[in-house]
Chains A and B, each alone.
Chain A
Amino acid sequence: MTSRAGGWALVAPALLWTLCFFVLPFAVMAAMSLARLEGRELVWGFDLGNYARLGDPAIARAVLVSLEITLTVTVVSVLLAYPLAAILAFRVPERWRRLALMLAILPFWTSYVVRSYSWLLVLSREGIVNRVLMGIGLTDAPLTLANTRFATVTGFVHFFTMLLTLTIYANLVQLPRNYARAAQDLGASRWQTFRHVILPLTLPGIVTGAFLTFVLCIGDYVTPQILGGNRELALPQVIMLQLGRRADFPLASALSVALMGMVTLAYLLSARWLRLDRL
């Protein structure tokens, strides 16, 4: 019990695994981002050229596209998820609540690949939405819904609405009912109760969910690739392109480090309200 060596021996395997296969590769990647590709030859060094390429129009555009998509998705998902979580927490009778929540997040645990494909079923030219719209005579020709930013955002919003519903719901059910009652006894309207009592208390749930949304959304390759197509590229798509065509690992590394930088920034901005330990 008191033997420190015993404790070390227990922690060591997991720690070594993470150090060898996560921390070390990340360090190598960071070093790689400062290397240069001359022809097919890799030249190690301290070269910020790869980072300077963040200013290339195509790459800067991808960063912007990624940020735009991620911010849109985060805002829309919070706006959709909050009422859903509130209805589940306060309106649905206690005995149905678990089932209702399970149903609301059922597709949460599907592979990105399968989930994106199932949105293709809905949005593609011969997909459900177009078939229905043409069936009832609203349009003559199919609308182009797939291979657009709209499709990417829809696919993401679908997933992150479920995630945010989970984190906000977990926050809402922990609130003592008395707080709202006290506010109303003191003369607050329903809106004032929400604005000054409920909302501030559920901020941690919102911020935690929004942070996870940001991290997972900005780093995802599958959804924009399947649903957005190649017309406009998000940052992860550009990173993957570097691996394929030229095997430009230094540039891919620099872009990945930049991606990590954005995530870290989001973390620092939201750290005050984050409750990751509560998940």
Chain B
Amino acid sequence: MTRALSWLYLLALYGFILLPVGALVLFSFQDGGLPVPPFQGFSLRWYADILGDRALMRALLHSVLLAFGSSALACALGFLAAWGLARHALPGAALMRAILVMPLAVSTLIVGLGLLIVLTRLGIGLSLWTAGIGHVVINLPLCFAILYASMGDQQRSAERAARDLGAREWQVLLLVAVPMLRPALLAAFFLSVTLSWDEFIIAFLLTRFDVTLPVEIWSLLRSGLSPRLNAVGSLVFLVSALAVVLAEILLLARRRT
């Protein structure tokens, strides 16, 4: 009895959780003008339509640049900080760790608004670069936390051995620490790519003309339901899902070894 109930519950919740995304993807293939039932047949025309749309493709390019650029920088900064804090006994280390992860607990609206105020005061024009600054702010805590958690003792011994054998500090960093932590680095990178790829409010507040895909979708929303939006949405979803699966595989592989 309770067994049957729990399977029923599981099914119901799967339905609730997967329904909207299922509808999004299914009706992106709709052969008709409205992305709602009945399903009128399978067609790829909306994908062809968005791939031919210059504004959307420009937004796509901006999103890719922003996600990869800000994640790479966040990973680099996060790695150095994690390495520094894990390998050196610094006074005030707890405070520094707290400051580094703090942006995680703050609404992105506030991060974006604060930066917008400062940039406007300084007379700096909004662009993909300013959105990039904001994205590094929110990606850095994530990268730092993941990398700091994976600085194990095993690596420490290898680093010490390298130093004993005469390696310079930059050689230890690039030839020992980075390669040993590569899975964690890549996982942090891909998680932060997803975060940045999906992020709306900072990109909305801090760009002007070079908008990203979520911002472009936002402005398309005004015209209501359309299979084109389903197609772009599915595309955005597919990319983030791929990045997360990659990160997951990398983190799992690490835990097994």
Contacts from B to A (Cβ < 8 Å): 3, 6-7, 9-10, 13-14, 16-21, 23-24, 27, 34-38, 77-78, 80-81, 83-85, 87-90, 96, 99-100, 102-103, 105-111, 113-118, 120-121, 133-134, 136-137, 140, 144, 160, 163, 169, 194, 197-201, 205, 214, 217-218, 221, 224-225, 229-230, 233, 236-237, 240-241, 243-244, 248
Contact = CB atoms under 8 A, between A and B. Distances in A.
Interface string A244-277: 0000010011001001100100010000000000
Contacts of A124: 224-225
A109 B194 contact: yes
Contact of A107 (B13, B18, B134, B136): B18
Interface residues of A, number: 81
**Do most interface residues of chain B lie in helix, strand or loop, or is the interface mixed?**
helix
A84 interface: yes
Interface stretch (A16-24, A48-56, A57-65): A16-24
A25 B23 CA distance: 41
Interface stretch (A170-178, A181-189, A214-222): A214-222
A21 B134 contact: yes
Given A13-B80, A21-B134, A91-B6, A111 B115 contact: no
Contacts of B160: 1
Interface in A92-147: 92, 100, 102-107, 109-115, 117-122, 124, 126-128, 131-132, 135
A18 B102 contact: yes
Interface of A: 1, 3-4, 6-11, 13-15, 17-19, 21-26, 28-29, 32, 80, 83-84, 87-88, 91-92, 100, 102-107, 109-115, 117-122, 124, 126-128, 131-132, 135, 158, 161-162, 215-216, 218-222, 226, 236, 239-240, 243, 249, 252-253, 256, 259-260, 263, 267
Contacts of B106: 22, 26, 219, 260, 263
